[in-house]
Amino acid sequence: MKRFTRIGFVISLFLGLAVTNSSAQDKPIVLSYASGYASTFSLSMHDVWWAQEVERRTGGKVKIEFYWSEGLAKISESLDAVNSGLADISFFATAMFGAKLPLSTVTSLLYITEKPDAVSNAMMEMYRSFAPLQEEYEKKNNVKVLSFSGTTPLIFGTREIWKGLGDFKGKKIRTFPGLEGPLASVGATPVTIAWGEIYTSLERGVVDAYTGTMWDLAGIGKFHEKAPYIIDLGVGVYAMAGTHMNKDKWNKLPAEIRKVLEEVAAEAINKQPELYMQADERIYQVYKKANVKTVVFSKEDKNKFRNLVVPAQWEKWVSDMEGKGLPAKKFFEGYQNAIKQHEPKSTYASPFVRFTDLAQK
């Protein structure tokens, strides 16, 4: 009798462990995702698609838990949040952390391309092949890059209509690093203020115009309510963000899960033109209703402004990075070559080309 009792106990224990193990295996891997931006932002849409596709392809084994609009960490703390493990994944603009990610600031150079996905693909190519860039993230900051997201082209927004570079003279313009010199050269006063202060600065007359943002993000910020004219100077993509994962967390994931995360991230980059143009279209409807007008400067003015930026801005960047002991010249050449390879494949079209009905007559 005791023997049967002992056997029954062993069987019960075995079955109990089996149920526990089965329950543990069925529990999905939940990865926290921190972003300082809204879910409707064009670059956010890219990661929403990625997360949904990851969940689908893993059969629900992986779920991404989103914390939008600084719900988990402030924008200024985005890198520290993922580096420390506060967030498993963090989305942020790399230029914000230029001191820690210096080579990545190459994407802040103007007149490189007008195709955001060309930037994304080129930087991913450099990340995989150029050791100093990979070390910048993985060894020095404990993060694994899942994907990069080039922004859509930079715009200028003004309180009054400006028809050419001559209208920049005497105006105060909210700017970003790299444009101070060229703006001063055409008689403007560059002003450095945070993105979140642009609306009130326009409202109070602290600035007459803004730049350093893109079509859809300006619409999300409602800047058009105070600056209803949007100028295309043709300067191209001016910044990049990225989807980054804590390296320690990444290393602990099963190999098959890591494979899916990377495969889907690569595919997501090629979805960027479609998703970004959807975001541009949505904000176009907002601008149309608000009677916003677009202004395309003359070819002469565009060339004049370009000559103030290039090659001086490019050469200064290379010189500054080389001065820090970084192989910037070789990196910049590789980046430009990669851009040229990916540019022809892009299907992205600027809102200035698509929505000509907004053009100021």
Could you tell me where the DSSP H helices lie in the chain? 2-26, 42-57, 78-84, 116-129, 131-141, 180-185, 198-204, 215-220, 247-252, 255-289, 299-309, 312-323, 328-342, 351-354
> Mean pLDDT, to the nearest integer, of 43-71?
96
Residue 43: the pLDDT is 92
pLDDT at 308 over 60: yes
Q: What is the dihedral of CA 189, 299, 286, 241, to 10 degrees?
A: -70
Identify the pLDDT of residue 177: 74
Hey, what domains does the chain have and what are their CATH numbers? 27-102+117-150+241-273 (3.40.190.170), 154-238+280-345 (3.40.190.170)
Q: State the pLDDT at residue 46.
A: 92
**pLDDT of 257 over the 90 cut:** yes
Environment class of 313 (CB within 10 Å of its CB; exposed 0-12, middle 13-18, buried 19+):
middle
Which of left, alpha, beta for 133 (phi over 0: left; psi -120 to 50: alpha)? alpha
pLDDT digits (tens, 9 = 90+) for 246-255: 999 999 999 9
Average pLDDT, the chain: 92
In this prediction, residue 23 carries a pLDDT of 45
Residue 17 pLDDT exceeds 60: no
Question: What is the greatest pairwise CA distance in the chain?
Answer: 102
111's torsion region: left (phi>0), alpha (psi -120 to 50) or beta?
Answer: left
Q: How confident is the model at residue 106 (pLDDT cuts 50, 70, 90)?
A: very high
What's the rounded Cα separation, in Å, for the pair 207 and 85? Answer: 39
Cβ-proximal residues to 158 (8 Å cutoff; 6+ apart), any chain:
171, 208, 209, 227, 229, 230, 231
Residues 6+ apart with CB under 8 A from 271: 46, 49
Q: Which carries the bigger pLDDT value, residue 86 or residue 9?
A: 86
- DSSP characters for 42-107? HHHHHHHHHHHHHHHHTTTSEEEEEE-TTSSS-GGGHHHHHHHTSSSEEEEEGGGGTTTSGGGGGG
Q: Average of pLDDT values for 323-329? A: 98
Predicted local confidence at residue 194, as pLDDT: 87
Q: Give dist(CA 80, CA 90) in Å, integer.
A: 9
pLDDT at 25: 58
Torsion (CA) 44, 49, 51, 54 in degrees, nearest 10: -160
Instruction: State whether the Cα torsion 92-94-99-100 is positive or negative.
Output: positive
The pairing of beta strand 29-35 with beta strand 89-93? parallel
Given a cut of 70, whether residue 260 has pLDDT beyond it is: yes
Name the β-bridge partners of 231: 156, 295
Q: Give the residue from 36, 41, 31 showing the smallest Cα distance to 65.
A: 31
